[in-house]
Chains A and B, each alone.
Chain A
Amino acid sequence: MPKRTDIQKILIIGSGAIIIGQACEFDYSGTQACKALKEEGYEIVLVNSNPATIMTDPDFADRTYVEPITPDTVELVIEEERPDALLPTLGGQTALNVSVALAESGVLNKYSVELIGAKLPAIQKAEDRALFKQAMEEIGLSVPKSGIAHSLQEAIALIDDIGFPAIIRPAFTLGGTGGGIAYNIEEYQKMVTTGLSLSPISELLIEESIIGWKEFELEVMRDGADNVVIICSIENVDPMGVHTGDSITVAPIQTLTDKEYQTMRNAAIAIIREIGVDTGGSNIQFAVDPKTGKQVVIEMNPRVSRSSALASKATGFPIAKIAAKLAVGYNLDEIPNDITAETPACFEPTIDYVVVKIPRWAFEKFQGTDETLTTQMKSVGEAMSIGGTFKEAIQKGLRSLETGWFGFDNHPIENLPLSELSSKLTIPNVERLFYIKSALKRGMSIDEIYSYTHIDPFFLYNLQEIVEFEKSLSTQPIRPFIENGKSDAEVVSLLRQAKQLGFSDRQLADIYDIEETQVRETRKSFGIEATYKTVDTCAAEFEAETPYYYSTCSSEDEVRPTDKQKIMILGGGPNRIGQGIEFDYCCVHAAMALKTDGYETIMVNSNPETVSTDYDTSDRLYFEPLTCEDVLNIYDKEKPIGVIVQFGGQTPLNLAMTLKEAGVPIIGTSPEDIARSENRQLFKEVLDDIGLMQPPNGTATSSEEAAPIAASLGYPVIVRPSFVLGGRAMQIVYDEKLLHDYMDSAVQASPEHPVLIDKYLEEAIEVDVDAISDGNQTVIGGIMEHIEEAGVHSGDSDCVLPPYTLVDDQIDQLKAHTYTLAAALNVRGLMNVQYAIKNDEVFVLEVNPRASRTIPFVSKAIGVPLAKLAARVMAGKTLNELGFTNEIEPTYFSVKAPVFPFNRFPGANSRLGPEMKSTGEVMGIDDDVSRAFAKAQKACGYSLPLKGNAFISVRNKDKRAVIFIAKKLTDMGFELIATHGTAKVLLRSGMEVDLVYSIGKGRPTIHDYIKNHAVDLIINTPTGDLHRTNELLIRQMAIEHDIPIFSTIPGAAAAVNAIDALQSGEISVKPLQDYHK
């Protein structure tokens, strides 16, 4: 069928803030959908609260609503826009849930909006466990046995059918707390009882245990004519028991015969038909008993998913784009395959390489939490690698992670006692792969490792081959050959073999204890070069039109560099806390801008969730690790006239110097100037030269050195290692004992790795400034005033643009400082400065001469694409030529609010501090600052209450300030609950307060109130480490019960003002296009 002409206007819903389990893959899918449908001539209305997305760029949709993705706000958008259709399947679970809510409540009917892609009954059938189970049984497929219990009796009634071992999962507990596996009835009764008491809704899911079974996924697409194709098959290296998002996965499936694979394929086709997903992509997970081959269906996502993004990048087949086209009526055979241009999209991609995906975790930021990998996803990002073999791909994947591994390296702890090693192998953990290496090195058999890990022996064998080869490498006298570059047939062959097995130059350098550059030079002199092959969807059966490459050590290179002027953009690699979608946004913008200026753009990245790794974002795409070796290899091949390192976050910046030394032309601010801003001593000199102030500070290389420095600065001080991103290991230290603890345990300072000690400016206002400079002229993009005081990491603070409490004098001063800094650091491109204002004095906290996390937010707030302008400036244009010389101060307010992953990490300290912990952010825009703040809160998932009970418990120094806040709450009709100290202060100020005990001091405590659903808002400022457990419990319960909690006085004040604004009238919605007019 050709496309539908009975619909003109389509509403697309995004996925909101980046959270664990829902990251930039939904920007990739939403962006593809917007592009695909716009190109078909439809009018696109978009709702997404995440400003860091490409899809919310005003050119991607006709009407872009950066508004909370909640049923009531989306209803307002529908009321305003009257779309004909809603496409619910491209914005992750968030979009799907909101769409279902709107359909179920009758809103879609009321406004005659049609759900396209998947209809309500299909979504319900896939999402509702009981309906899904029934549907599977109807088509003769098995699902693991399971049941729901609300009491011990119900649970006991279930167990006969389910059998032991049984998995107990309490509903809605943090990170699945209270769950477990019971092997006998006694254990079962115990676990059920605890589980029921921990679950806020007293509900348990009891499941048959299939832990240790092999896990597989198929990506399926269906069109309106009922054509169904499988786009990609995926095998999980980690078996059932580890969430697929936390598993190392491989595409295609490696260990199933055709017979078994086809059975699975048939099942997948039957499932998508039975569930009734009309058109588009679905992801279906299967488990297979390794002993008998019995297959069971685990679940189906009736929408584009994280795995779809991976499948798209792994095969070259753009699932989201095609899904969007199918949703408007096209059939698969009517859509061309962009990669081959001559064949249709109705086929099944076949690949002639191996793809490995490896997750990246951030447990170091959530100390105190259990690091076991379970069925709850905990990773914050992932890297994908493509290689000619599994061995090559896994080694490339490990170095793509940028976590300090250069391949399948040795675990730093070599001689773990066997009992400990076996438990490290048995209990899934972040470093399990490297424990496998330890086991292999000490000669443990594949069978034994399998008995602990249940990782298919096929993968273990491949890992063993790497280990065995590495052993043979280290026994060969290769070093002299490398050192004098003398060629020898055997040595050349051995080195070539090493490269074929995916060994990096750095790994070889480590084995022979020489410099990486020496390995590189010798290797090249032996003629061992990286060769590049094309991702073409068809295993070379047809010629590929799109230059999408990966490296593999082989005989033929397919890259045909053009003689056009080329600029290479280095991406940000796997997402991590502090470096995520914002940087990918900037890289994508660079590619778009440079294309319009006539350059050929080359993108290098290893993150499959991104828009930057779409084959049509840049002219040429290299899906490669962002290490020096891999980047230099591409550089040697392509010889671009410039390389951009300031857009991909810390990843490319870390490479800048080495690349420059190797002769790579870095464009934009020079690596030397970047170093001047990052090196404490050099930066001090810069500031002294131009007469700007820093908080008093010093540098220490040992604990002994640190104490006198801290004492002279006066406590509290902020301590941190040099050269970090996202405030890694940064802390506020209140006394000498804590200082020693930090110096000795947290960072292990040394002369090479000094620790920076800053005076902590208490109760200072923090301000972020983003600016752009062409070397002569500097223009401010935006000034953002933080709501939380200085000391909370800027990525974790709410901030407001334009500033809402600063006076003109202060703003002028900030501007003047920024111009001076840009000139002093010879900035060409973007620059971000963090200031603290205390007692009318402006201190420079930090300067980053690169794209910052706030660039997308500022660009959206002011309506100017700063990253695009910066890319063009780096390529030689002046701001004058680009027409950006006037600073924009919007008449409306934009608030940025962070979103935290604490619900995944029970036990971790959820207090905010100088170390960044948020995974994403949202934006609220309104003419009124309090309403903008309310919108941002709502977009974070906290709907501010308009009435009810507010619990207040603050530290002594906040007691004065909280009086006004409490007073305002009572004026607005709230009842107050407080702990002793706070209550006393409030009572004295004439307010009525319900008294609760601190935990352990009597009953009722705040816990009792929360459990009785009698708390609607919490203001709880931390008192220091003493009451940590108390505070932690309150925070944890607040998170579990979705109660808005504010832990700073300014934050609480903003919330109270926002409630006031909300009480005086409903919020309204307005698209970016109207704000930017």
Chain B
Amino acid sequence: MKAILALSDGTVFEGQQFGATGETIGEVIFNTSMTGYQEVLTDPSYKGQIVTMTYPLIGNYGCNEIDIESIGPQVEGFVVREYSAFHSNWRSKWSLDTYLTENNIIGIQNIDTRALTRRLRVHGVMNGCLATEGTDGNLDAATLVEKAKSWHGLVGWDLVQRVTCPNPYAWNQHPSSSATLETDKPIQPENGKYRVVAMDFGMKYNILRQLTKHGCDVQVVPATTTAEEILAAEPDGVFLSNGPGDPEPLDYAITTIQKLLGKKPIFGICLGHQLLGLALGGKTYKLKFGHRGANQPVKHLENDQVEITSQNHGFCVNIDSLPNSVNITHINLNDDTLEGIQHRECPAFSVQYHPEASPGPHDASYLFSRFTKLIDEHQ
């Protein structure tokens, strides 16, 4: 079946549908990771976005019930050069087509994804409308372009409300917490030693798996949970999760973080990092085309080591906007943007990238130990 991806600048890519049918709208972005499409699909940070994979063959190893980062696929649409209908891997359960169809995600294949990526790189990410041929055979590119043009986009939109958990829950009670690989088994003898509250802005399961692996007993709470409610639970530390979209509209979360600062050890990842930055008085801005992939070099300024990191963000904390109370701990070697901060007095630190990886390299998993160490220091 024919499908069209129409961009707000008028560019139209025509390809073939796979997965679900229908019409969808979102910000069109690209991810350069060569592995991990299932993790990408299920990462709530992609809410509101149509994801293009730059690696051309997608679907090769199918999908399974373990490699998920949330309850199911979160992306608004999925764009690939060639979808592999055949899936080959000893862990594979379903084809990617089945997985997307069942989760109602529209995919488009057989388009020049590199041409699309180059357009996004040069002109910046833009809104797009992805649609498949209707039963009447109707698929009008001009209409789709108009829809893309008139869509509001991500800036100023609170997408977290769409992905945060409705009610608090304990991760070790969650059905997905038992589905782990051998490598994710706890490394700490003191299983569940640290009581951590995680603010869920669209949290990836692998953060929860990593926290658990490092001895944390995690209570996940909705994004709107107040500081008072969190402190009442008497956690040893607070974790600020990743999540989709623009951090600026999330004033409720920023207020919560400001109130928690200095009271409990805090660790933030991605959106959690941006929110910590805002809570500390910094400013955020939108990157031209973001960082999304598994090969971003980040320099750890404390020891001059370089970590190859997994990244997924379209917004960024302005490195010059931070107050003196903040130490810059990590920077991106590709474009010198901010990747990590630590408060000079309060026990709080955060990184823009994804130490939990999934998909991507595990170089930065030491940050979870740093969090538990910080908790130890403030017990």
Contacts and interface: CB of A to CB of B under 8 A. Distances in A.
A344 B297 contact: yes
Interface in B52-94: 54-57, 60-61, 64, 66-67, 81-82, 84-91
A258 B88 contact: no
B19 interface: no
B378 interface: no
A389 B67 contact: no
Given A458-B88, A539-B32, A554-B114, A257 B67 contact: yes
Contacts of B296: 347
Contacts of B67: 257-259
Interface string B19-57: 000000000001011111011000000000000001111
Given A262-B359, A456-B88, A458-B60, 16 more contacts: A255-B88, A257-B64, A257-B91, A259-B358, A262-B360, A265-B362, A290-B90, A332-B306, A343-B333, A343-B334, A347-B296, A351-B34, A353-B56, A388-B82, A538-B295, A539-B55
B3 to A, nearest CB: 15
Nearest to A557: B115
B117 A348 contact: no
15 contacts: A233-B34, A258-B39, A259-B66, A259-B181, A292-B90, A346-B297, A347-B334, A348-B308, A350-B54, A352-B114, A458-B84, A538-B32, A540-B114, A555-B111, A556-B114
B114 A461 contact: no
A541 B293 contact: yes
A263 B183 CA distance: 8
B361 interface: yes
Given A333-B297, A351-B34, A556-B118, A262 B361 contact: yes
Interface in B166-213: 181, 183
A233 B33 CA distance: 13
B32 A541 contact: yes
A229 B306 CA distance: 9
B333 A347 contact: yes
Interface residues of A, number: 58
Contacts of A252: 34, 55
Contacts of B33: 258, 350
B52 to A, nearest CB: 10
The 10 closest A-B pairs by CB, nearest first: A258-B36, A556-B115, A461-B86, A258-B359, A539-B54, A458-B88, A258-B35, A348-B295, A555-B112, A539-B32
B121 interface: yes
Contacts of A266: 362
Contacts of B105: none
A556 B308 contact: no
B294 interface: yes
Contacts of A540: 30, 54, 114, 117-118, 121
B361 A346 contact: no
A142 to B, nearest CB: 13
Contacts of A350: 32-34, 54-55, 293-295
Contacts of A343: 297, 333-334
A110 interface: no
A543 B118 CA distance: 9
Contacts of A229: 308
Contact of B333 (A261, A333, A543): A333
B56 A352 contact: yes
B35 A256 contact: yes
Nearest to B308: A348
Interface in B294-308: 294-297, 299, 304-306, 308
B79 to A, nearest CB: 13
A542 interface: yes
The contact size tier of chain B is 35 or more
B291 to A, nearest CB: 9
Nearest to A263: B183
Interface in B97-113: 111-113
A558 B119 CA distance: 12
A455 to B, nearest CB: 11
A457 interface: yes
A908 interface: no
B218 interface: no
A293 interface: yes
B357 interface: yes
Interface string A950-994: 000000000000000000000000000000000000000000000
A226 interface: yes
Nearest to A390: B57
Among B32, B35, B113, B359, max chain A CB count under 10 A is at B35
A589 to B, nearest CB: 34
A543 B33 CA distance: 18
A533 interface: yes
Contacts of B359: 258, 262
Interface in B322-379: 333-334, 357-362
Nearest to A254: B60
Given A347-B334, A538-B32, A541-B32, A258 B81 contact: no
B297 A258 contact: no
B61 A257 contact: yes
A253 B60 CA distance: 10
A172 to B, nearest CB: 38
Pick from B33, B34, B67, B86 the residue with the most CB of A within 10 Å. B34
A545 to B, nearest CB: 15
A346 B306 CA distance: 8
A292 B176 CA distance: 22
A7 interface: no
A737 interface: no
Contacts of B112: 554-556
A349 interface: yes
Contacts of A1077: none
Contacts of B304: 225
Contact of A352 (B39, B88, B113, B308): B113
B29 to A, nearest CB: 12
Nearest to A555: B112
Nearest to B13: A555
A227 B117 contact: no
B369 to A, nearest CB: 16
A556 B121 CA distance: 15
Interface in A826-848: none
A257 B61 CA distance: 6
Contacts of B361: 262, 265, 348
B90 A293 contact: yes
Contacts of A348: 294-295, 308, 361
A354 interface: yes
A291 interface: yes
A778 B137 CA distance: 72
A271 B334 CA distance: 27
Interface in B258-309: 289, 293-297, 299, 304-306, 308
A344 B36 CA distance: 25
Nearest to B37: A258
Given A253-B35, A538-B32, A258 B358 contact: yes
B185 to A, nearest CB: 13
A589 B56 CA distance: 36
Contacts of B118: 540, 556, 558
Contacts of A254: 57, 60-61
A261 B67 CA distance: 13
A265 B117 CA distance: 27
A856 to B, nearest CB: 39
B90 A291 contact: yes
Contacts of B121: 540-543
Nearest to B206: A259
Contact of B115 (A225, A293, A539, A555): A555
Interface in A80-102: none
B338 to A, nearest CB: 17
A256 B55 CA distance: 14
Given A258-B67, A258-B360, A457-B86, A346 B35 contact: no
B38 A257 contact: yes
Interface string A475-494: 00000000000000000000
